[in-house]
Amino acid sequence: MLSRVAENIYWLARYLERAEDTARLLSVNSNLLLDLPRATKLGWSEIIAITGNDELFDELYPNRDEASVLSFICGDLRYPGSIISSLMAARENLRTARDVIPREIWEEINQLYLSVREQVESGITPRKRDVFLNRVIRSCQTVNGLIEGSLSYTQVRTFLMIGRQLERADMTTRIIDVRSANLLPRSPGELTPFENIQWMSVLKSLTGFQMYRQHVRLRIRGPDVLRFLLQDRRFPRAVGTSLERLANALQSLPRHELALNEVETCRQHLAAADIAVLASEPTRLHSFVDEIQLDFTELHDAIASTWFAKPVDATQLQSQ
Amino acid sequence: MSNVNWEDYSAQGFYDELIAGPGKPRPEAAMLCDYLAKLDAAELSAHKTAAEVAIQLMGITFTVYTEGNMIDRAWPFDIVPRIIPLAEWQKTEAGLKQRVQALNMFIDDLYHDQKIIKDGIFPAEILAQSVNFRPQCVGIKTPHNVWAHICGSDLVRDQDGTLYVLEDNLRVPSGVSYMLENRNVTKRVLPELFASGLIQPVDDYTSQLYEMLSSMSPRQGEEPTIVLLTPGIYNSAYYEHAYLAQQMGVQLVEGSDLVVGDDDCVYMRMIDGLQRVDVIYRRVDDMFLDPEVFNPESTLGARGLMRAWRKGNVALANAPGAGVADDKVVYAFVPQIIKYYLDQEPLIPNVPSYLCMFEDDRNYVLDNLDKLVVKPANESGGYGMMIGPHASKKERKKFAELIKANPRNYMAQPTLALSTSPTIVGTNMEARHVDLRPFILSGENIFVTTGGLTRVALVKGSLVVNSSQGGGSKDTWIVDLAGN
């Protein structure tokens, strides 16, 4: 497989997963809206903070109301992390790799992009919000299903898996981070009843509510949810599961030692987390998420330097 | 709205590919015309929609440079095929083989002994002025002595029914994928007609192409590594590049994927290291192939590619320099070229051409500017052309000055009355002008596609068939009524 194609396939998977998980991130707030008492005012500003794009947002929009945040994160091409930008990038990466991916997958991604673009043009109003987010999530799942059912077990699939799992691990930590970013107005007396609602909405956004109940068999409690989302090895969107599947995929590739070491570093970091403290102290959770995301960046660098396009080195030439 | 009535169809005095006269389909088209006449307007429209849906679903696209981010558009397609009788096609096929064989001998001669110039058949000054002659290619031995391995020749039919060659595309001709996809779409839309068994299949092309490319490999006896080199997704023919790579099961590479080693062999960068490449079907123009030899700014090719090619370590199709015969002045010499190398009369005529460098021709051109099409020798894509009958007095005067100032740069041809073929316009059947681009593969043997890509000018009265300018295409049927 060509290095350039491997790189495109990897990014295709990352962008697709990013589009889906960005929709899931927004749906944390959506779910909260449904569950909170009417009098509680929900903040949308923190969503922007989580993406780390305050500056760009403030340049483009006068205030942080729901409509502006939705428009920025769903449909703004000027923001490279928006859902529409991610889908466009996925499509562009696929375009240069169309010869190795079954036609139906291209058609589905193409259709999703075109339909998202159409919806964005007509405006993502709060009323249409949930339908839109669900459509994005479901279509991305459809693409994953097509990959599962129609792509041979070759290196193409391996690079798709690597991109998807790394992005998913990264995005799950960001979604967890929503919890740490005071979404709700906090006064000491009020905190407790809403805390669990927030964790529940995080679980629901990750389609993890039922699996949590089956695996943990406890009522929703912060530390249990956090342990489940970070360390579980059975739930597909848990960081622990993603890293395990990533490690398995890496092992099928030649020269995988460097990347595999980086995965090991991430896993040790995860295993060492003091869950109880993280669950009760949002600032600690936030800095933990920051650290683990640095690990992910290093993992990506290891993958890129091992397999992706780079200047040729003479030793390789001689070994031919 | 009513059914198609062939009595009402008129080709406005042009030669029509399907209809001989009011209500009279040509014998090979009778089956199709009867079928279409039985459809009511709603059914016809449903057929048309089915084709559009198939094209969108199959993702058949082409690129228009001017549309910014929207880099692909659905391929404009008309469901009514163009039909050519098998017997006529067999003659055309023989003529194309003859033509391409002679052109390859001509190119090989130009890069070696230049006998045709020494023998006074081809003027040395034309070669000296050629922008597509590559001195870097002099003396190179190519596999089977072939330079233009893939050729797309444009054929047009005049009022009296004669097929002419309008030009030969010997550099990086495109369109063959659309020929293949048009057939796929038509099979979905008109399956009943294919059941007759009278329509010749076209799907052999990609395996013929693969075999031809394999036969060029410098490492015979080993399974060759073949790649298709594309300039990338922004090229107007990228869809075709991806399509052909996929159909042949070869890697679709970009310049940055290739590297030439110290051993002057070409390698591609794979995830498990470098892999030797034997044959490159390049869809990148000569000037961008190798920054070491040609355009130093180019990132579309690979540094050292020409070194590897000269040493015979890699085969390139088409060979660099093949475009020397893809030139409007050289075109005018093709009948002499055929006679010189093969000692045969051309089986398909050229459109009569007047070279302004010759005094008699020039005087004729200057006296008949209102009847002729004047073309500059070294431009392509219709740039800098004058269509006499449509030009203003002022424009003709301007061209007369241009010709006198630089006679060698101009040639002229009579304005052809291009043939038409029935095309669906709204819910009606109307006559639209068509041409035909068959593809010719030259390796050990010569292979010609069964028919080719029929392009149609969808705008009424227009002669412009280019897809970027309101052109579309049709499936092309070679029909054998004898049922062989």
Q: Is residue B361 part of a domain?
A: yes
pLDDT single digits (tens) B321-336: 999 998 888 999 999 9
Question: Looking at the structure, do residues B404 and B436 belong to the same domain, yes or no?
Answer: no
pLDDT of residue B467: 67
Q: Is residue B180 part of a domain?
A: yes
With contacts defined as CB-CB under 8 Å, which chain B residues touch A320? 261, 267, 273-276
> Which member of A253, A309, A316 has the closest CB to residue B273?
A316
Domain residues for the domain of B447 are 19-88+176-201+429-479
User: Given a cut of 60, is residue B260 above it in pLDDT?
Assistant: yes
Contact check, Cβ <8 Å, B256/A316: no
Q: Is residue B365 part of a domain?
A: yes
The domain segmentation of chain A, as residue ranges, is 3-310
User: Mean pLDDT, to the nearest integer, of A302-309?
Assistant: 92
With contacts defined as CB-CB under 8 Å, which chain B residues touch A309? 256-257, 269
Closest chain B residue to A1, measured at CA: B270
Question: Looking at the structure, do residues B383 and B442 belong to the same domain, yes or no?
Answer: no
Question: Looking at the structure, do residues B366 and B468 belong to the same domain, yes or no?
Answer: no
User: Mean pLDDT, to the nearest integer, of B28-42?
Assistant: 92
Q: Is residue B95 part of a domain?
A: no
pLDDT of residue B285: 93
pLDDT single digits (tens) A188-236: 444 456 677 778 888 888 888 888 888 887 777 888 899 999 999 999 9
Q: How far apart are CA B93 and CA B447, in angstroms?
A: 9
Residue A3 near chain B (CB below 8 Å): yes
Closest chain B residue to A88, measured at CA: B69
Q: Is the ipTM of this complex over 0.90?
A: no
Last residue of a domain, one of B414, B443, B458: B414
With contacts defined as CB-CB under 8 Å, which chain B residues touch A108? none
Q: Closest Cα of chain B to A100: distance in Å?
A: 7
User: Given a cut of 70, is residue A258 above it in pLDDT?
Assistant: yes
User: Mean pLDDT, to the nearest integer, of B183-211?
Assistant: 92
The pTM of the full predicted model, rounded to 2 decimals, is: 0.82
Closest chain A residue to B255, measured at CA: A4
Residue B57 near chain A (CB below 8 Å): yes
pLDDT of residue B241: 92
What is the count of structural domains for chain B?
A: 2
**CATH code (residue B405):** 3.30.1490.270
Preferred mutation among B62, B240, B269, B274 to probe A, highest tally of A CBs within 10 A: B269
3-state secondary structure chain B: CCCCCCCCCCCCCCCECCEEECCEECHHHHHHHHHHHCCCHHHHHHHHHHHHHHHHHHCCEECCHHHCCCCCEECCEEEEEEEEEHHHHHHHHHHHHHHHHHHHHHHHHHCCCCHHHHCCCCCHHHHHHCCCCCHHHCCCCCHHHCCCCEEEEEEEECCCCCEEEEEEECCCCCCHHHHHHHHHHHHHHCHHHHCCCCECCCCCHHHHHHHHHHHCCCCCCCCCCEEEECCCCCCCCHHHHHHHHHHHCCEEECHHHEEECCCCCEEEEECCEEEECCEEEECCCHHHCCCCCCCCCCCCCCCCHHHHHHCCCCEEECCCCHHHHCCHHHHHCHHHHHHHHHCCCCCCCECCCEECCCHHHHHHHHHCCCCEEEEECCCCCCCCCEEHHHCCHHHHHHHHHHHHHCHHHEEEEECCCCCEEEEEECCEEEEEEEEEECEEEECCCEEECCCCEEEEECCCCCCCCCHHHCEEEEEEEEECCCCC
> Which member of A2, A3, A317 has the closest CB to residue B262?
A317
User: Given a cut of 80, is residue A39 above it in pLDDT?
Assistant: no
Residue B246 near chain A (CB below 8 Å): yes
Contact check, Cβ <8 Å, A320/B261: yes
Question: Looking at the structure, do residues B405 and B438 belong to the same domain, yes or no?
Answer: no
User: Mean pLDDT, to the nearest integer, of B333-348?
Assistant: 97
Last residue of a domain, one of B386, B414, B442: B414
Q: Is residue B71 part of a domain?
A: yes
With contacts defined as CB-CB under 8 Å, which chain A residues touch B276? 320
